[in-house]
Structure 1
Amino acid sequence: MTKFLISPSIVAFICALTTFAFPQIVSAKDFYRMATLGPGTTPYMVSTTFATIVNKELKDQEIQVNATGKGTQHAIEAAKGQLDFFITANIVQRLMSSGKAMYSKISTAPEMSKKLRSLFMFPAGTYHFVVYEKSGIKEIKDIKDKKVFVGPKGSAINNVVQAIIKGSTGYEAGKDYEAVETSFDAGGAAFQDQRVDVYVNITNPPSPVISQVSLTNEIRLLDLGDVSSNPELTKLYENRPGRFIATIAADAYGENQMNTSEVQTLGAYMGMATNEDVPEEDVYNMLKIFWTGLDEMKSESPWLSAISLDSVFASANMPLHLGAVKYYQEVGLEIPAELLPAN
């Protein structure tokens, strides 16, 4: 057999020529960034379900989910184009558009809020105040001098939880109880490891985090009392779109939930949002495949039963994305005039 020796320079030339003549096929898939709240929350589960359905059914788009940070910061990042999808709430948009509270030091916040667009609202669930039965904590006033997970520092949920505690007990963080302000993921882990006495979260029951604890431990959900007759609690939901009085069943978490009657608490709506620069057709296709595929997943995930087209506009105060307008008009929903975008 005859052997031919080819110089390295010729090999390099042939490789370059081949690459030039036959360019690699580049994928046209569009990647989108989504930020959500921590594991154990309904917003987290809605976000991951949305991404799972989209990634499975749409070959040209892929959503990458990140469950870190705070929803109030996510809104700023989305307005700057650093995020494509995020979780919001009526109060977040109100504060950002008016430059108040956590947005008071961001002079451009009101202008940036104009770039945000709503996709849909959903029941984020009810505020769960959960303790181990063996802790001896039977009612909300028993949390004095205890460690209470209240959500990430500076988050809207953190502010609401502390307001609920103050309204129902008069207690203040740092004075009457220790507020544990970590991520939702870390807070859930701390409760499972019994490093905090009270775990607070907003979720549609049954919450996976709480359900896991109740499999091997007796738990109790703390009742807030007669919410409607407590003026301090009433002002937390009256004239506050997106908040409402709610109850949790005495057996929502099975036989290890030691409540003997339904639990009085507060609930809230949240929403998924984007910015105006995400292509209309992509948003339309994502919403269409999400709402079409959601029913199939409800049999496997009971908490999804609360998510439906009936509440997509509930407490919304942000204009809809054009892709959302197209889809909801297509399925025959009557869109409130104030939610139609100007452009």
Structure 2
Amino acid sequence: MKLTLRHALFAAATLVAPMAAQAEFLSIGSCPVGCTAYTWSAGIADVINKNVEGIEVTAEETKGYVANINLLQDGEIEASMATSLSSYEAWAATGPYEGSEPGKILSWMSIAPVGMHIIALEGGPINSVEDLKGKRVGMGQPGGVSMLDANALMGMVAGEDFEAFRVRLGDMIDMLSDGNIDAALWNGSFPLPPVIKLSAQRDVKLIPISDAFYADLNAKYPPYFRLSIPGGTYEDVAGDTPTYGLANGLVISADVSEERVYEMTKAIFESLDDLAGVHPAFGRVSKDTVLNGFGAPLHPGALKYYRQIGVAGIEEFVARTSR
């Protein structure tokens, strides 16, 4: 396993003070600073550190969800944000993870769906999905799952007839504001903080996905499901915006102990009101939503807690994911 700076510092600490109590270190992979997943990870890390003894959790800035799965498989982080599609494929060693070791990455906690945002400015050239053809389009950074979703969308819309800018969300929003791109694509949990910031400075619009376009997309990519970004999520967008997305949440290495995962799951669930102050998505997490979208089995520590609090459908979920 590659020795990260965090592991190196921990090893050094054990040599300097062998008699001192040693905290267990755990990293949660997220995305670049400014993205929703980083905000979530930082909030979760803070809650665990305050409520679980003997552990030190950090939110790690990464290139995104695709990179997170690779870091988990390599043992460089212990937990991460991921979509339900990528986490299932990694657990089953199928799709892009074919040939890897199966069973290493387990489900932990569904947080909120990610929704495809097609972000443009009022008065600009983008008024429909079809208008993206031939335009300058922000696609998300390499290593992030949002870029893969953008690739799928633009492949359906324009083939190769567009100019792609593969940069992080914050940079895309700056480029859109400055007129250097015509639209920014991002599949993320709403609200997106950089878009909130942009809407305070410029007149923002979200481009809707028509039923016909979604039907064609879903026929080619079945994991996507229909959803809407509610009106009022962003200051300038009063009405609901029909789009599509994926389930989104926490996954964790099978190597983390059952008791430790149980303690962390309990701490998170008992702090959802506090976490809702960090990001509104936590206000929608409940016993009824915590399994949403997952196809890989639960970590035994999470399963123990969910059984204890009586999560509806838990035994059916266990039966379905144990096959």
Alignment counterpart, residue 215 of structure 2, candidates 218, 231, 239: 231
Compute the displacement of 1:94 (Å). 4.4
Q: Do the aligned partners of 2:135 and 2:162 also contact (CA within 8 Å) in 1? A: yes
Judged with a 3 Å threshold, the aligned counterparts in structure 2 of structure 1 residues 179 and 315 are, in CA distance, closer, same or farther, namely same
SS of residue in 2 equivalent to 1:92:
helix
Kindly, what percent of the aligned residue pairs are identical?
A: 22
The AA in structure 1 aligned to 2:105 is L
Q: Determine the C-alpha separation between the residues in 2 that align with 1:156 and 1:75.
A: 10
Q: Do the aligned partners of 2:137 and 2:183 also contact (CA within 8 Å) in 1? A: yes
Alignment counterpart, residue 273 of structure 1, candidates 251, 254, 261: 251
Residue in structure 1 matched with residue 138 of structure 2 by the alignment: 149
1:160 partnered with 2:149: yes
Compute the displacement of 1:139 (Å). 1.9
SS of residue in 2 equivalent to 1:88:
strand
What are the equivalent positions in structure 2 for 1:309-328 lying under 5 Å apart? Answer: 309-328=287-306
**Pair member with larger Rg:** 1
Q: Determine the C-alpha separation between the residues in 1 that align with 2:44 and 2:320.
A: 22
- 1:252-303 deviations in Å (ceiling 9; x for gaps): 212x33x6x4321102212211111112111111111111111133256434
Alignment counterpart, residue 270 of structure 2, candidates 292, 298, 309: 292
Q: Determine the C-alpha separation between the residues in 2 that align with 1:204 and 1:97.
A: 23
Q: Determine the C-alpha separation between the residues in 2 that align with 1:139 and 1:205.
A: 20
Residue in structure 2 matched with residue 87 of structure 1 by the alignment: 81
SS of residue in 2 equivalent to 1:123:
coil
Q: Determine the C-alpha separation between the residues in 1 that align with 2:206 and 2:48.
A: 35
What are the equivalent positions in structure 2 for 1:1-343 lying under 5 Å apart? Answer: 26-96=20-90, 101-103=95-97, 107=99, 109=100, 112-153=101-142, 155-167=144-156, 170-172=157-159, 175-227=160-212, 230-236=214-220, 238=222, 240=223, 243-254=224-235, 256-257=236-237, 261-299=239-277, 301-333=279-311, 334-335=313-314, 336-338=317-319
SS of residue in 2 equivalent to 1:113:
coil
Q: Determine the C-alpha separation between the residues in 1 that align with 2:87 and 2:275.
A: 30
Judged with a 3 Å threshold, the aligned counterparts in structure 2 of structure 1 residues 230 and 205 are, in CA distance, closer, same or farther, namely closer
Flag as ranges the 4+ runs of structure 1 deviating above 6 A. 339-342
Q: Do the aligned partners of 1:122 and 1:271 also contact (CA within 8 Å) in 2? A: yes
SS of residue in 2 equivalent to 1:87:
strand
SS of residue in 2 equivalent to 1:128:
strand
- 1:188-217 deviations in Å (ceiling 9; x for gaps): 444455433212222333321111000121
SS of residue in 2 equivalent to 1:210:
helix
Q: Do the aligned partners of 1:318 and 1:339 also contact (CA within 8 Å) in 2? A: no
TM-score (norm 2): 0.83
- 1:99-120 deviations in Å (ceiling 9; x for gaps): 555435xx3x1xx231211111
Judged with a 3 Å threshold, the aligned counterparts in structure 2 of structure 1 residues 44 and 140 are, in CA distance, closer, same or farther, namely same
Q: Do the aligned partners of 1:126 and 1:203 also contact (CA within 8 Å) in 2? A: yes
SS of residue in 1 equivalent to 2:112:
strand
- 1:43-101 deviations in Å (ceiling 9; x for gaps): 33322221121122234211111121242332233233221011222321444356555
Judged with a 3 Å threshold, the aligned counterparts in structure 2 of structure 1 residues 142 and 93 are, in CA distance, closer, same or farther, namely same
TM-score (norm 1): 0.78
Q: Do the aligned partners of 1:319 and 1:338 also contact (CA within 8 Å) in 2? A: no
Q: Do the aligned partners of 1:130 and 1:220 also contact (CA within 8 Å) in 2? A: yes
SS of residue in 1 equivalent to 2:111:
strand
- 1:207-230 deviations in Å (ceiling 9; x for gaps): 211110001210110111225x75
Q: Do the aligned partners of 2:135 and 2:182 also contact (CA within 8 Å) in 1? A: yes
Q: Which moved more, 1:327-336 or 1:153-162?
A: 153-162
The AA in structure 2 aligned to 1:282 is R
SS of residue in 1 equivalent to 2:232:
coil
Q: Do the aligned partners of 2:108 and 2:251 also contact (CA within 8 Å) in 1? A: yes
Gaps of 5+ in 1: 1-22
Q: Determine the C-alpha separation between the residues in 2 that align with 1:123 and 1:171.
A: 29
Judged with a 3 Å threshold, the aligned counterparts in structure 2 of structure 1 residues 232 and 117 are, in CA distance, closer, same or farther, namely same
Q: Determine the C-alpha separation between the residues in 2 that align with 1:203 and 1:99.
A: 24
Aligned residue pair count? 304
Q: Determine the C-alpha separation between the residues in 2 that align with 1:120 and 1:188.
A: 29
Compute the displacement of 1:251 (Å). 3.2
Q: Do the aligned partners of 2:229 and 2:240 also contact (CA within 8 Å) in 1? A: yes
Q: Determine the C-alpha separation between the residues in 2 that align with 1:73 and 1:303.
A: 23
